[in-house]
Each structure stands twice: as structure tokens, then as C-alpha cells.
Structure 1
């Protein structure tokens, strides 16, 4: 992770060298700035909030208050598409988004990180995003967005599992089940192949959709669906640990705005981003176990399943998607990291 942040810092310093007005004379102590940092989760008790609060703490402390950070938990957008738009238009300075929403900006390569069963463990995921593959993806995003988006850290939203109105004993149990998930792209195509019916429901409306039988099932990580009490509904009480996605989330800044900060401000913000990555991951890993236990205590039923048929089904999807995106080399590097 330090290597990744150091490279980002070098990129930032290189840009500064060619920009007027951002030399050594300026500093965070001389020019005050206000940073709007936002995520889409409405509950403040989640890893996203922990990460952004750490970002705020470090940025404000290291700048002696010259950098003010205002953290928004779903208050300026509960949909990631809203946050991406606000980052582009100046309504936010730091946002957290998933690969799926980044593809809506035309950067298809980021969908690599959303492929089912791409990662086998958190160690595998960390080695990937904190290493060469993460660096290459950051470069792709920055270049293809014309510097509108710059990654300053990789966060996780946990390991996603199935939960629904019935447990899964085999893949056949998914036949005909409506599932709240992505409704287009490789993720949707994968779930269609399992027999499920991908269905679109806004996150904020999913509890009611499960309660009122609008959808039969959904998929997400324990810290998120348990916080929203999805496991207390009839259509969410059976949790099968499919472990199909060790999720990746991008902590983004607007590169063009970032380049206007002084060298000292940039360094402070990158340090804050690095510390936020540590804080968010630590909170997430801890909450995985805590919220699983809460779900069980609340009466949810948890079972394991033989994942190998799901993994075997996912491999050709990964191969084809990587070929379509032109990132076969990155896919092979990810597999080599196992």
C-alpha cells in the first residue's frame, strides 16, 4: 500500500512541476481549503464512515486545521452515480465508488475487479490492489478520464454472499429466483447463467422489496445487509456463504482539482488517503465477523455451500470479459498472485 501511495505522490509531484502557482512558496498553512468527502451509505456506523473520518482526522491534524474535511454519509447522494457526477462537477472532492459505476463513465477496464470469484482471499485481494495490478488500474482510470478521476486508495466493501427466502444447497436452487444485483454486464450475465433472475432495486428500497416479496433474494456483505436489517425479512433470512466477490471500491479525487492544490496540501491529502485505507480495511475485517454473529443471533440461518461449481462457471466469464476489455494480462497477473 505504501508503494502504491508513493507512486501516486510521484505522479502528483510531476504534475506540480509543470503548473504555475503551486511551488514551494505555498502551503497548507498559507491557503485554507475545504474538502467534501462522501460515500453512499446512510448509516454512519459502517467501514466507509470509519475510513473517511480517519481521512478527516489526518488531513486536519497534519495541516493544523488549514484543510477542513466535511464527511457526508449518504447526505449528498445515496446512489454512486450521484457521487461520480458530483466529483466531476465540483460538488464533492473525495468520493467512494464501485467498479460497476465507474464503467458508466466509459472506463470498461475497471469491471475486471467486479468479476465473480476473481479473488480467493483478502490476502489475494490486497496483493493485487496494493501491487502492480492496482498501479496499472490507477493509471488506466486517470488517463481514460482525462484526469477527472484519480485513485488515491483501494477500499473493500467486504465479501458478498447470497441471502434470500430459501437456503442454497446447490446451484440448481437459484433457478427462477429473482435476485437484487447488477442487471447488466458480466455480473448480471453470470447470475443469469446460474439460473437466477437479476433484478434492479435501489439500495435504500431493498428492505421493503424483500419484505414485500418484490425480490426473492439479494447478495451483499455482512456489514452492509445486516446493518439494514435485510436478514430479518422473510426473503432475507437464509444466508448462504457463496463468497463470490471480494469487493473493490475506489477512493477517488478529481485529478484536475487535485493538481491545483499546493505541494504540501497534496502530500497531506495523500497521507490522509493512505491512513484512511488502513482504517477502512481494519473496520471492515472486524465487522465481517461481528455482523455475521449478529445475523445469527437475530434468527438468520447461515449455511455453507460447495463453491467449486460456481468457480468453474465463473472462469470462462472471466476469460471472455478480460478479452473484451483488453486486460488479459491483468487477469493473468491476478491469477498469478494467488
Structure 2
């Protein structure tokens, strides 16, 4: 018996499951659009290492930054087909399968990480997780991967929605994002994140919107001059895989994956929170104007998005959960 096989047998004995023949029998490829210097990526490294330790190496997590496995939508389709892949993805992209997920990307739902964490660890959210399995064949491992509040990235100062009139602004293609950006006064222009740098450089688009760590990771400070801190979307994302692949694992490994994903999500999210001030200072040092503004006009302009997408009742329920009521 080889050392690897012996380790797998011993691991199986400890967790009370049948042993895989080799560690490679359980391999999960995780895709993210973000770069390796993003705080969220350190959370993914924590997930990889935690799963390896908790399963004695029987489950291997492989990380693919910078969308190496393709756009998020493509990886989601691979997962639907049962491939052993996972992707860090926002709720808007899952809303096409289970509508409630879209509300997580609605404007000004909550402030900061702690409130959003209450929402995505609630019993109400777990109902959506189970419904998604049946609707699309996706399994949420955890959804507490907070990437920060999203701001406007432009070539000119912005203080109110009227300043965005006629501005072609990149955003993800999900309805909640498109409606939000349109309500803010811009012309929403969906495209993959990996194309944003060149699109700004070549004037295919005029502006974008993103959280501070992503700006640095994509080097957008080279092709924008202003960041306006609207905080219009509090970006919470999830680690989503194939339900069929997940169900093929021993039950104890399923439990480990979800527990480790939740713990690693906290590593990523609190790391993001702690890095924001330094990232903002770095952007300013590179010549980008980072402006605090009164967000009231943007809050008022986007308030109707909830009702337009049928999320009015959910807004009130989730804001109460976020507040700890």
C-alpha cells in the first residue's frame, strides 16, 4: 500500500466514510475573476488549505484567478453539467435560476459586511440555497464572500445621477445590476470583467463600477481618473459548485466543504474590510481622485429598483435581518 493510499484510508476511518482510491478522485477547480493580490483570493487559499487539512488531503482544491477557466457564466454552465468546478459569483448571476438571489445585489440593501453576513447565513437564505439546487443543479458552499461596496469609476467628477447621462458604464449583465445602473443615470454596458481595462483604454466604454480591491487587481487606476464613493451595491458573493458533483462526495466531506467555505469567507471578508483604507490611499498616491459624496440622490434614484424587479417585500424582510431585528 502506498503512502498516499494509506493516508486516504486513515482519513476515511477518521471521518467514517469509504476511502477514495486516490486524492485526485475528489478535485475541485475554483474560478474567480479576481487577481491573486485581492484580499478575497487569500480567503480562497484559506479554503484550499482548510479542506486539505480537514479531509487529510482526500479533497484537493485548485485555484484559478483572473478567470482562467472562463467567464463566470460559462463556469456556472459547466457546474450545471456536473463538472467539478466552482466559481465565486454574485447573486445577480444566480437570479436567472432562482429569482430571490438577485436581491442580494440590489442597491443599498445593507451597509458593510456584518449586516450582509446575517442575511446570507439566515434560515431564509438557506431556503433559497435548497431551491437553487432543484432549479439549476447548483450547490452554494457559502455566500459570505464580501468584496466591499461598489463605486463609480469615471474620467470626470460625479456628484449626482445627472452627471452620468449618456455615460456608457460597464456592469455585469444580470437584471438587478442593469436596472440599478440605469436608475443611477448611466447607460449600462454589460461585458466580462477581464475586458474592462482594454474597453476603457480604447473608449469602448466611458466608465465602470467596482469595489476598491478589484480596481487595484485589474490595474484600472491606469485608465480612470476618478473614483466616486457611491457604495451603491454592497457586493456579497458566493462560492458555487455543481450539486451533482457535491452529492457524489461522502457526507462528511460535504459538511467539511460547507464549513470550510463559511470560515474562509470570513477570512476573505474581514481581510477585505481591513485592506480598504490602504487601497484607497494607494489609489490616491497613483493620482486617482477618490471622492466622498452625499449619496442621497443616488439612494433616491435607485429606490424604485426593488419594486420594478419584484423585490419590495424581500427588501423589508432582509433589511430587518441585516439589522439583527
**Are the structure 2 counterparts of residues 331 and 91 from structure 1 closer, same or farther at C-alpha, using a change threshold of 3 Å?**
same
- 1:49 equivalent to 2:75? Answer no
**Are the structure 2 counterparts of residues 184 and 87 from structure 1 closer, same or farther at C-alpha, using a change threshold of 3 Å?**
closer
TM-score (norm 2): 0.86
Show the counterpart of 2:200: 210
Show the counterpart of 2:141: 152
Show the counterpart of 1:137: 128
Show the counterpart of 1:95: 87
Q: Distance in 2 between matches of 1:187 and 1:116?
A: 9
RMSD: 2.3
TM-score (norm 1): 0.83
1:63 equivalent among 39, 52, 55: 55
**Are the structure 2 counterparts of residues 30 and 129 from structure 1 closer, same or farther at C-alpha, using a change threshold of 3 Å?**
same
TM superposition shift of 1:185: 1.9
**Are the structure 2 counterparts of residues 321 and 43 from structure 1 closer, same or farther at C-alpha, using a change threshold of 3 Å?**
same
TM superposition shift of 1:116: 1.4
Show the counterpart of 1:315: 303
Q: Which moved more, 1:284-293 or 1:87-96?
A: 87-96
TM superposition shift of 1:58: 1.1
Q: Distance in 1 between matches of 2:45 and 2:174?
A: 33
Q: Distance in 1 between matches of 2:162 and 2:294?
A: 12
TM superposition shift of 1:107: 2.2
Measured against aligned partners, the alpha-carbon deviations of 1:189-216 in whole angstroms (never above 9, x if no partner) come to: 3322332111233322211221222221
Can you give the 5+ residue segments of structure 2 that lack an aligned partner in the other structure? 1-14
On the 8 A contact 2:156/2:226 being kept in 1, the answer is yes
Q: Distance in 2 between matches of 1:184 and 1:259?
A: 28
**Are the structure 2 counterparts of residues 224 and 110 from structure 1 closer, same or farther at C-alpha, using a change threshold of 3 Å?**
same
Indicate the SS of the match to 2:253.
Answer: helix
TM superposition shift of 1:76: 4.1
Q: Distance in 1 between matches of 2:164 and 2:61?
A: 45
- 1:118 equivalent to 2:118? Answer no
- 1:37 equivalent to 2:29? Answer yes
Indicate the SS of the match to 1:199.
Answer: strand
